[in-house]
Chain A
Amino acid sequence: QVQLQESGPGLVKPSQTLSLSCTVSGGSVSSGNYYWNWIRQLPGKGLEWIGYISDRGTTYYNPALESRAAISVDTSRNQFSLKLNSVTAADTALYHCARAKPRDHSGNSDWFDPWGQGTLVTVSS
C-alpha cells in the first residue's frame, strides 16, 4: 500500500522560496505510470491544485502558480519535491502531496489517491 509523507520547513520568510519534499513508501516514483501531485489547503479558501510531475519527468502546473512553481523528482530518494518562489502570506497553507493515475495521452489524470496528511507552511517574517 502506497503511502506519502510531506516534509519541509514550517516557516518561510516573505519573498523567499518554499521547498517541500514528499517521500513515497510502498511504491516507486519512477515506475507504475503515475502522476505525482502537489495540492494545498488554503485557510478559509479550500483546496488548490498546484501541479504534477509524471514518472517520466513531465510537469504540468496550475496557470495561477506556473510562474512560481517547480516540481522535480529524486528517484534515488524515492521523493518528489515542490519549490515555490517569491512567497507571500497568501501562500500560507497546508501542503499535501498526492498520486493520480494518468487517464490518456492528453496529460489529464483521474482522482487523487492516496494523499499525504500534509505539512503546514506559514509565510511570515
Chain B
Amino acid sequence: DFVMTQSPDSLAVSLGERATINCKSSQSVLYRPNNQNYLAWYQLKPGQPPKVLIYWASTRESGVPDRFSGSGSGTDFTLTISSLQAEDVAVYYCQQYYTTPYTFGQGTKLEIK
C-alpha cells in the first residue's frame, strides 16, 4: 500500500499568516504518460461533509478560495494557505488516488495561534 505521511500533525498559525502542510508518499504518485500527480487535499470540519480543496496535486476545486494552493510532484507535496482565515480551522488530509487501496495521510489539525 502507498503510505502517506503528513507533517506536522498539528499547526497553530496567526490570522493572516501563511500555513504550510506537507505530505510525503512512500511511492511516486506521478503517472508519467500524462504527467499527472494523483494526489488530492481535503478539508474536514466537524458536522460538515469533507470537502475536496485540491486535486491533481495543484488544481483548485471550483469555489475554493485562491488562498489555498497545492504544489509538489512525485512523492513530496505541499498544501499552502497564504493568509489564514478563521474559517480555515479544520483538519486537512492528503490522499493518493494513483491506485487502490486509496490511502490518506494521518491528518494535520490547523488552529489559530
Contact = CB atoms under 8 A, between A and B. Distances in A.
Contacts of A112: 40, 42, 50, 52, 95
Given A47-B107, A115-B50, A116-B49, A110 B95 contact: no
Interface in A44-80: 45-49, 60, 62-64
Contacts of B49: 4, 96, 114-118
Interface string A100-117: 100100011111111111
A63 B100 CA distance: 9
B23 to A, nearest CB: 12
A96 B104 contact: no
- B-side interface mostly: loop
Interface size class of B (residues with CB under 8 A): 20 to 34
Interface string B48-89: 111110010000010000000000000000000000000000
Nearest to A50: B101
Contacts, number: 57
Nearest to B61: A113
A2 to B, nearest CB: 11
B102 A45 contact: no
Given A46-B105, A117-B47, A111 B40 contact: yes
Given A46-B93, A116-B49, A111 B100 contact: no
- A-side interface mostly: strand
A115 to B, nearest CB: 4
Interface string B7-48: 000000000000000000000000000000000101010011
Nearest to B101: A62
Interface of A: 4, 41, 45-49, 60, 62-64, 96, 98, 100, 103, 107-118
Interface of B: 40, 42, 44, 47-52, 55, 61, 93, 95, 97-107
14 contacts: A41-B44, A45-B106, A46-B106, A46-B107, A48-B104, A96-B50, A110-B55, A110-B97, A111-B40, A112-B42, A112-B50, A112-B95, A115-B50, A115-B51
